[in-house]
Structure 1
């Protein structure tokens, strides 16, 4: 994973997006404002053709791409490579224009039913000004990926208006848990409740798979989020949707505690945290300062507690999504209910038509 902190660039301009439901906080559910339902892409079916794109960091190893194609084929789908999927331009998978052209082509192609990102890294934000939003909006298709793909998920929510899936990238491990979660959402149109599997450690009290509630209770709202670093870098741009009444889900990797603190502070100062109906913080992989600067400082849980508890809405940490092999597929823009006490996310509507 390349260092995003050296690569992120400010994009400017004011945020835009459609209004989302009002918050529901506390232990009991309250009334919600009616919001326009999110549009749905068609569900995936066995035999469908899906596009493979590389919108961020390069992956110029044909063997690795073959593994991705084999994983897609194992799902019963037919992979179709983007024209520039094996390109390299510095640390990017081709120029901004070429990477955007592959995305535009997949959404214009009637044969392609969904679009999978081969990998993340850095670079998705750079393609946003080059995307054909008229074409993308006119042809709802699932976009699948996580990490840097968060920039595309947020932009699609703001500019295209249909649900996408924050889930494994093409090169992910696609473990049994990850595959079954994705299949339920993308193929079956199910409305499951996601709960971490129980730990199987040889100890009296299990440590694995636990969640921590910062504020207990139940909340409803549209799921929006992804990688915290990438999302924060879009603040102040026209590619971030309206978070009013939303349930924010966030994760990260290789970020020291003080950086998580800094990014949550920015979301708070930007007025985003104060609009939410609930928060789910997933996995933060290797989120400890490597230079010893965290010694005597705040732990990650303490940082989260400082930012999330004062919001007065249900919030919890530890759900299985993020930079981990086993991860749930969370559809962006779909109504969901969280139970911070139980550590669950329940979809209230299908992500696909």
Structure 2
């Protein structure tokens, strides 16, 4: 059974940094994002860790785990929203009491996806993979990014639908700030390995391959147990994105996931756009996807709106998703089934 939190209007957003915080020269970004959330009707409560950064993390693991736990336990906080990702979130999972985690939204991506996936796999509480807080500091958000509010306010049993973005951002242009933060000027096309339209459905799970792969073999990465105990054996739909892996490392990671049983009962896989995926000789990104499609015999869609090449769809771990891709355009309908 999956439990879905629900974000209420005017809720308090708790900002903590379970991975990286911000160095002093970047504090203005967090202040801008906080002000924007306040203008949109939220209360914002920022902990100590977001203002800190030392040795590739905001604070020692126990400090990060404690502040995250305190925000979860605070009844006034309706959403725990890290400023962004980082590198070493995995250090905190052993310091969390998963049996005491209440049904409360946690939203983010990149390194934060380790936390999101671990929570949903261990507890059956839905978590949201989408924008980070820092990217909401603009005057407005594009339609794809802004859907995080719809996702988090949908009641249990309800549904919402998102469509592929019209345009995506190919590269950052910090010298010319955009009022919506992103520079969306490249046409979006969701592609399939088969070259044909695709449709599949199942329970969503996923995140950044670079980091969630390290949950394999730990008590926090048992996908088979999750499928058996929380979703009654429903098929899985994996959404995955690559931050820094070259094609060979991505391939190794996906083989490890397959051997660990993560793709058992999988009905399809979605891969986000990536600025990485560097070829290894003549072995390229498309070869990785073709190899996996051949091994699993399921539809594989790539260059979707997910991950480090914005904007991105909000995917809810544990939700029942219906995916359709037609002539390069994608639709994702998520239903909050128990």
Per the shorter chain, which TM-score range?
A: 0.7 to 0.9
Give the equivalent residue in structure 2 for 1:43. Answer: 7
Aligned-residue offset at 1:104: 0.4
SS in 1 for 2:120: helix
Q: Secondary structure at the match of 1:344?
A: strand
Q: Using the alignment, how far apart are the partners of 1:319 and 1:75 within structure 2? A: 28
Contact kept? 2:12, 2:77, Cα under 8 Å: yes
| Cα distance, 1:178–1:339 mapped onto 2, change above 3 Å | closer
The secondary structure found in structure 2 opposite 1:117 is coil
> Cα deviation per residue 1:195-233 (whole Å; 9 max; x = unaligned)?
323459xxxxx9821122125542221100010111111
Judged with a 3 Å threshold, the aligned counterparts in structure 2 of structure 1 residues 199 and 64 are, in CA distance, closer, same or farther, namely closer
Is the Cα–Cα contact under 8 Å of residues 144 and 167 in structure 1 kept in the other structure? yes
Q: Which residue of 2 aligns with 1:191?
A: 159
- What does 1:1-353 correspond to in 2, within 5 Å? 36=1, 38-45=2-9, 47-61=10-24, 62-136=27-101, 139-173=102-136, 175-189=141-155, 191-198=159-166, 208-215=187-194, 217-242=198-223, 244=227, 245-288=235-278, 294-295=280-281, 297-341=282-326, 344-350=330-336
Contact persistence 1:60–1:87 (CA under 8 A): yes
* Alpha-carbon displacement from aligned partner over 1:87-107 (angstroms, at most 9, x marks no partner): 334221001000001110001
Higher relative contact order (CA 8 A, sep 6+): 1
CA distance in 2, matches of 1:53, 1:207: 33
| Distance (Å, rounded) in 1 between the aligned partners of 2:4 and 2:309 | 27
Moved more, 252-261 or 111-120: 252-261
Residues 15 and 80 of structure 2 are in contact (CA less than 8 Å); yes or no, is this contact kept in structure 1?
yes
> Aligned partners of 2:165 and 2:117: how far apart in 1?
28
Q: Residue 89 of structure 1 contacts residue 95 of structure 1 at CA under 8 Å; is this kept in 2? A: no
The 3-state SS of whatever aligns with 2:216 is coil
Mean CA deviation greater in 318-327 or 236-245: 236-245
Q: Which runs of 5+ in 2 are unaligned?
A: 169-184, 228-234
Greater alpha carbon shift after TM alignment, 248-257 vs 170-179: 170-179
Question: Structure 1 residues 118, 184: closer, same or farther in 2, change over 3 A?
Answer: same
CA contact (8 A) 1:121 1:148 kept: yes
Q: 1:325 to 1:44 in 2, by over 3 A?
A: farther
Given that 1:168 and 1:178 are in contact with CA atoms closer than 8 Å, whether structure 2 keeps it comes out as: no
Q: State the 1:335 CA deviation.
A: 0.6
Is the partner of 2:111 in helix, strand or coil? helix
In structure 1, stretches of 5+ residues that fail to align are 1-35, 201-205
Tell me the TM-score normalised to structure 1 length.
0.79
Shift of 1:341: 4.7
Q: Which moved more, 1:268-277 or 1:257-266?
A: 268-277
1:58, CA displacement in angstroms?
A: 2.9
Are 2:203 and 2:321, in contact at CA under 8 Å, matched by a contact in 1?
A: yes
Q: Give 1:159 shift.
A: 2.1
CA distance in 2, matches of 1:71, 1:178: 18
